[in-house]
Amino acid sequence: MNRRGTDSEYKRLKAVLLHKGGPEIERVLSPGEVLYSGKISYPALAEEFGSLEKVFTSLGVKVFHIDASRIDGTDPRSFYNLMYARDLFWASSGECLISRMRHEVRRDEVKYAARTLSALGMSIRETYPDGAHFEGADILWLSPREVMVGVGGRTNDLGFEAITRSLSAKGIGTIRVPAPGASLHLLGSVQIASGDLVFVRRGIGSGIMEALERNGMRVVTVPETDEVSKRFAMSVVTVAPREVIMPRGNPGMKDVFLSSGVTVVREIETRELIKGGGGLGCAVGILERVV
């Protein structure tokens, strides 16, 4: 299947990659050892993903699933965080950069993502030098010819340099910015809603602000409330310019979106999902947007 990929964070969404996890999630005895903040109920998590898939289908977005059939020799812990598909790759036109995960418990997840993406007809790039780390949620489109890469806890300098070499061959420039300390990835602190509107968490660095403003975006600073810091209220999925799906139960963040001219298309329960340390946006691998 030939996927065109994307060149923005906000154009109309056409296809996504999901993984709802499996019953093994309930067998985790020490949540912290697999990066969870607490025990997850798998039936409730599956219901959350089921609701999300129904919303995408109702919006005409094609939903594909990670092929999680066991690959010999992979770490059995690979299935615990596989539900955070956005972390595992980053798509451009017709091809994907496969991540090199920072934490050992997540290292082999990318093999399942790569197998699935290859079967969908995407060209795969995954060559990194020793010691390099890169995670897909640390790279955001600023324009069709430029991306911003958050370097910090999950993506390091070697990873950034490898990404830069790969994308420069396609005529895409990269801007290095410090990954915000308030979130695991750049995506957790920066949400681009349209070509001229972006939401950011309070306290992000001047480099990020300068890159956004230089691209003509109006920056809306979001208060650092419990909704944002504990309930991942800013972890949304933009389905079209100024149209988002957001996590349910966050009225303050919803008001910020609405007052800024953004339509909240649907609200999805994410109570179990966030116990794994990621939000709604982290769970949705972006395969294709209108280019």
Q: What average pLDDT does the chain have?
A: 95
- The angle formed by the CA atoms of residues 187, 95 and 71, to the nearest 5 degrees, is 85
Mean pLDDT over 73-87 rounds to 97
Share of the chain above pLDDT 90, in %: 90
CB 144 within 8 A of CB 170: no
Q: At residue 124, what are phi and psi to the nearest 5 degrees?
A: -110, 130
Which pTM value belongs to this model? 0.95
DSSP state of 71: P
**pLDDT score recorded for residue 1:** 44
Tens digit of pLDDT for each residue in 171-191?
999 999 998 877 789 999 999
Q: Domains in the chain, please, with CATH?
A: 13-289 (3.75.10.10)
CB 91 within 8 A of CB 5: yes
Tens digit of pLDDT for each residue in 36-73?
999 999 999 999 999 999 999 999 999 999 999 999 99
pLDDT level of residue 4 (50, 70, 90 thresholds): low
Tens digit of pLDDT for each residue in 249-285?
999 999 999 999 999 999 999 999 999 999 999 999 9
Spatial CB neighbours of 239, under 8 Å, sequence gap ≥ 6: 12, 13, 59, 61, 245, 265
**pLDDT score recorded for residue 206:** 85
Tens digit of pLDDT for each residue in 183-215?
789 999 999 999 999 999 998 888 899 999 999
The SS3 of residue 206 is helix
**E-assigned strand segments in the chain:** 13-18, 62-65, 89-91, 95-98, 123-125, 139-143, 146-151, 173-178, 190-194, 197-201, 218-222, 237-240, 243-247, 263-268, 285-289
DSSP state of 110: H
Q: At residue 44, what are phi and psi to the nearest 5 degrees?
A: -70, -40
> Could you give the CA distance from residue 6 to residue 139 in angstroms, rounded to a whole number?
13
The alpha-carbon radius of gyration of the chain (Å, integer) is 17
Spatial CB neighbours of 73, under 8 Å, sequence gap ≥ 6: none
Tens digit of pLDDT for each residue in 88-132?
999 998 789 999 999 999 999 999 999 999 999 999 987 799 999
